[in-house]
């Protein structure tokens, strides 16, 4: 039994404050629904594609959100079009973003309605717990087989008695598909060329073709020495089989200097195995990784990164800490082949520029906000919101997520099935 003190001004004041919090929260949820619509549009139209790894990386960079939260925003934004009921409840301020985020991890068009009823009734904690249990059922039912397959992956490379190298393995379907496509593409080209050069010869067997294709995929890059120093030199940069790569690409491949690059004269004689003499000493590489920690491109930070010579060593740039910067594979390509520029300023900071010359800041400033609450209320004018809009239907009773799963999940074993009716 509760005892209320009538007309206690302190309690009434606190209740008003609580209502205000609830109302503004509902406004923020409605605004979040609108934000997710904008993110979905931006993502679908590739607005982040000018230098960023993903829409989440762009979001994290542009508005200062942590990367995990940004990934979740993008994931939820993409999920909502297939879950119209959850999307609508969010846009009306009846379901919090936190609950929508949890429900969209498991909801399908078939289960959406049931989950939404639970989502409206329960608290965020109940919903989290339900979703965790739901995922366990999903995983058990659907992923056991995949996990078994994944566990069996392997690759062995060993030398046989006659000196030939034997490769044997089991790859996951995704990796296998990539390998097969690469082998097919390389094999087709080599086979076509062999027919042109020797139209009467016996065509190679499929096995022979694939062995040659694998060798081609693994080829080292051959590049003319003058081209490395000056990309405008006319000399070719060629892969072993004569396929050209651009001078910029060969400069990138030589940039980290951990790769063997053969330099040869115009008539094809190898004059130097360039990279061996340019290897970054282990101590310097450690210092570089310690300083940069990952890709330095604004908004990236990927850990697996290569050492980029800000001034290329082939142009006399020294292999020193101040002339090096870590870049991930993708952003290394951005600065060599896509026209992005990087320089080290007098104060030691790195500055990146887009191909059009505009500076790409490390962390852009957020726009100035005036009367944010008024703006929010005006934008949400079409939606009826009050202090109770977000209130869960839960009145304090015990919530058993195991029972909830049993009656709601399509793959759950129902009590009636185990009871023998
Ligand atoms: Zn580089
Ligand atoms: Zn990067």
> For residue 334, how far is its CA from the centre of ligand 2 (angstroms)?
9
Rounded to whole angstroms, the Cα distance separating 306 from 335 reads: 12
> For residue 370, how far is its CA from the centre of ligand 1 (angstroms)?
44
DSSP letters spanning 66-82: -HHHHHHHHHHHHHGGG
> For residue 60, how far is its CA from the centre of ligand 2 (angstroms)?
14
Strands 237-239 and 221-224: antiparallel
pLDDT for residue 273? 44
H-helix segments, 256-408: 282-292, 329-336, 372-379, 401-408
138 near 411, Cβ under 8 Å? yes
Helix or strand run (H / E) with residue 351: strand 350-353
> For residue 255, how far is its CA from the centre of ligand 1 (angstroms)?
4
> For residue 314, how far is its CA from the centre of ligand 1 (angstroms)?
11
> Which strand ranges, in their side-by-side order, compose the sheet holding 341-344?
341-344, 350-353, 359-360
pLDDT for residue 228? 57
Q: What is the pLDDT along the chain (421 residues), one digit of tens a residue?
A: 455 556 788 888 999 999 999 889 999 999 999 999 999 999 999 999 888 889 999 999 988 889 999 999 999 999 999 999 999 999 998 999 999 999 999 999 999 999 999 999 889 999 999 999 998 887 776 666 677 777 888 999 888 888 888 998 988 777 788 788 878 877 776 766 666 666 666 777 778 888 888 877 765 544 455 555 554 444 444 444 444 556 677 777 777 755 444 555 555 554 444 444 456 788 888 899 999 999 999 988 888 888 999 998 778 788 888 999 999 888 998 898 888 999 999 998 999 999 899 999 887 877 777 777 888 888 888 888 888 888 888 777 887 888 888 888 887 765 555 444 3
> For residue 374, how far is its CA from the centre of ligand 2 (angstroms)?
39
> For residue 18, how far is its CA from the centre of ligand 2 (angstroms)?
45
* Proximal ligand: closest to the CA of 342: 1
> For residue 247, how far is its CA from the centre of ligand 1 (angstroms)?
12
pLDDT for residue 235? 45
> For residue 339, how far is its CA from the centre of ligand 2 (angstroms)?
15
> For residue 392, how far is its CA from the centre of ligand 2 (angstroms)?
43
> For residue 325, how far is its CA from the centre of ligand 1 (angstroms)?
8
Rounded to whole angstroms, the Cα distance separating 291 from 297 reads: 14
> For residue 331, how far is its CA from the centre of ligand 1 (angstroms)?
9
352 near 297, Cβ under 8 Å? yes
203 near 190, Cβ under 8 Å? no
Measure the CA angle with vertex 36, ends 35 and 40; round to 5°: 120
> For residue 252, how far is its CA from the centre of ligand 1 (angstroms)?
5
28 near 95, Cβ under 8 Å? no
> For residue 256, how far is its CA from the centre of ligand 1 (angstroms)?
6
> For residue 253, how far is its CA from the centre of ligand 1 (angstroms)?
8
* Proximal ligand: closest to the CA of 53: 2
Sequence-separated (6 or more) residues with CB below 8 Å from residue 3: none
> For residue 363, how far is its CA from the centre of ligand 1 (angstroms)?
23
Rounded to whole angstroms, the Cα distance separating 387 from 23 reads: 5
pLDDT for residue 279? 67
């Amino acid at each position: 039994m509760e005892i209320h003190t009538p007309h206690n001004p302190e309690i009434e004041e606190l209740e008003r404050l609580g209502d205000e919090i609830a109302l503004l929260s509902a406004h923020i949820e409605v605004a979040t629904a609108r934000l997710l619509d904008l993110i979905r549009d931006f993502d679908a139209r590739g607005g982040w594609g000018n230098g960023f790894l993903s829409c989440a990386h762009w979001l994290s960079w542009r508005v200062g959100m942590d990367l995990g939260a940004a990934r979740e925003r993008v994931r939820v934004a993409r999920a909502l079009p297939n879950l119209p009921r959850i999307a609508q409840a969010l846009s009306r301020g009846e379901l919090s973003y936190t609950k929508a985020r949890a429900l969209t991890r498991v909801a399908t068009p078939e289960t959406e309605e049931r989950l939404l009823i639970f989502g409206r009734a329960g608290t965020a904690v109940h919903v989290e717990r339900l979703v965790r249990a739901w995922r366990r059922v999903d995983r058990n039912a659907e992923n056991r087989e995949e996990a078994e397959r994944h566990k069996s992956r392997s690759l062995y490379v060993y030398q046989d008695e006659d000196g030939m190298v034997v490769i044997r393995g089991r790859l996951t379907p995704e990796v296998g598909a990539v390998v097969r496509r690469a082998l097919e593409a390389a094999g087709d080209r080599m086979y076509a060329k062999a027919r042109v050069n020797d139209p009467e010869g016996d065509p190679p067997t499929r096995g022979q073709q694939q062995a040659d294709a694998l060798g081609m995929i693994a080829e080292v890059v051959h590049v003319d020495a003058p081209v490395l120093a000056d990309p405008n030199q006319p000399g070719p940069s060629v892969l072993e089989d004569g396929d050209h790569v651009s001078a910029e690409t060969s400069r990138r491949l030589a940039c980290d200097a951990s790769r063997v690059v053969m330099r040869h004269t115009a008539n094809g004689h190898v004059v130097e195995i360039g990279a061996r003499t340019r290897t970054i000493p282990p101590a310097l590489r450690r210092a570089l990784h310690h300083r940069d920690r990952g890709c330095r491109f604004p908004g990236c930070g990927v850990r697996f990164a290569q050492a980029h010579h800000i001034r290329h060593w082939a142009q006399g740039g020294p292999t020193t800490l101040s002339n090096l910067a870590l870049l991930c594979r993708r952003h290394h390509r951005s600065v060599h082949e896509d026209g992005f520029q990087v320089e080290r300023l007098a104060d030691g900071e790195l500055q990146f520029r887009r191909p059009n010359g505009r500076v790409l800041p490390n962390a852009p400033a957020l726009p100035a906000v005036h009367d944010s609450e008024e703006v929010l209320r005006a934008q949400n004018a079409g939606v009826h919101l009050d202090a109770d809009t977000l209130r869960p239907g839960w009145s304090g009773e015990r919530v058993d997520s195991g029972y909830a799963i049993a009656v709601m999940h399509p793959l759950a074993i129902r009590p009636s099935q185990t009871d023998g009716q």
